[in-house]
Amino acid sequence: MAKIKASRNGTKKDAITKKAAALFRKKGFVASSMRELAENIGVEASSLYNHIGSKSEILQTICFKVANDFNLHIDEVEKLQEDSLAKLENLVRFHVHMMVDLFDEVYVANHEWKQLKEPYLSNFLNQRKIYEARMIQIVKDGVDEGTLKPIQPHIAVLTILSAVRGIEYWQRHKKEYGISELENDMTEQLLHGLTK
């Protein structure tokens, strides 16, 4: 059997996580087995355990890596010397890119977080809640500044996050239009609407 190859710019653990995210997205976390993951990588199941402790540990790695990416990004956005609208646009574009560039990982974090064990489950949910609250605050600031309409900020954030999450249904239509059209048109509609 072959050895586990490290992914480019990454470790062997990164390579396993990447393959696992693809497997968990397609089959679901519960229905995926370590044996199947090993087969997908082309190694013996036993050699996986040199790099990771369990299937649950892989799910934790995926969910917390995705959370880190979003948290680090919103840290930067909050520091920008720009108005709330520009910050919001920055966030929408980042979400679109995450849904496309890290599709397997973000999909798994969105759909399979319920399978996390404690204390990771509560911790992950709490981080998501804080992230949403930070987005809501940016919308509130925009309403207060007068750049945004007096829309209920929670509804605006729900609308944005749900719309972007729907990119999972776009994957089938990739050939009709590319990522930059998707990013520009979705951002335009969510911030400035469909009407001329």
Q: Give the interface with a second copy as residue ranges (CB under 8 A).
A: 85, 88, 139, 142, 146-149, 151-152, 154-156, 158-167, 169-170, 173, 176-177, 181-182, 185-186, 188-196
Query: Which amino acid type is present at position 187?
Result: T
Who's near 85: CB < 8 A, 6+ residues apart?
142, 147, 148, 191
Give least dist CB 82 to a second copy, A. 14
Residue written as tokens 């804080």? Answer: 130
Q: Say how many C-beta atoms besides its own lie within 10 A of residue 122's C-beta.
A: 10
Closest CB 73 distance from a second copy, rounded Å: 20
Of residues 48 and 92, the one with the C-beta less far from a second copy: 92
Q: How far is the CB of 155 from a second copy (least distance, A)?
A: 4
Cα 125-7-174 angle, rounded to 5 deg: 70
Residue whose token pair is 């709490």: 126
Report the residue number, 78 or 181, with the smaller CB distance to a second copy.
Answer: 181
Query: Do the beta carbons of residue 91 and residue 138 sit within 8 Å?
Result: yes
Which residue's CB is nearer to a second copy, number 9 or number 176? 176
CB of 33 to a second copy, least distance (A): 18
